[in-house]
Homo-oligomer: A and B are copies of this chain.
């Protein structure tokens, strides 16, 4: 029995590496880059600080690796929306609905992006792969807009980046600013009771804008 599912090995470099990445995602997204502690990352995944430097070289490079991995897994879920099979309005509905759900389901990604903006995206700038991944989003939005303008269901003039901003802003904001909003308005914006109303508002406002 050659046993593909790992028995308790004393050495497993890949598992160690991934364990560090998992632990680092939690630590960085909870505390930010400067707030994160290398000791805490090592402790959480039951390895030693030395291993972090063995595999990643420095705290900042580890942070960059975490950021890359988070972007990659976020975009991976976006590939098979099959927007081309839907009528333009339905494609926008699916696109916006998916963005809404996916941001809510991945608050650590959202926090990481907020953190990276505090650092003026200087680590993202050193990850050329990320840029490639994200640009495809604009292309698929543009294709939907073109189809919608061709069949008359959308106005002319909206750019793909504008529409992406309009959709993503709302999805991102309600997750990223959950706590200040909750403190100020004494109401958690992610309260399940508010979810359907917010989701419908997003979809409707985008569609009505494109139609107008």
Query: Looking at the complex, which of A17-25, A42-50, A163-171 is the stretch in contact with chain B?
Result: A163-171
A159-191 interface (Cβ within 8 A of B): 159, 161-162, 165-166, 168-170, 172-174, 176-187, 189
Add 18 more A-B contacts to A121-B180, A165-B174 (CB < 8 A). Answer: A32-B32, A114-B114, A114-B117, A120-B179, A124-B184, A125-B183, A134-B185, A159-B197, A161-B187, A161-B194, A162-B197, A162-B201, A169-B170, A170-B170, A176-B176, A204-B212, A205-B205, A208-B208
Give the dominant DSSP class at A's interface.
helix
Task: Note all chain B residues with C-beta closer than 8 A to A174.
Answer: 165, 169
Interface range on chain A (Cβ under 8 Å from partner): 35 or more
**Copies of this chain in its oligomeric complex:** 2
Question: Is A209 close to B, CB under 8 A?
Answer: yes
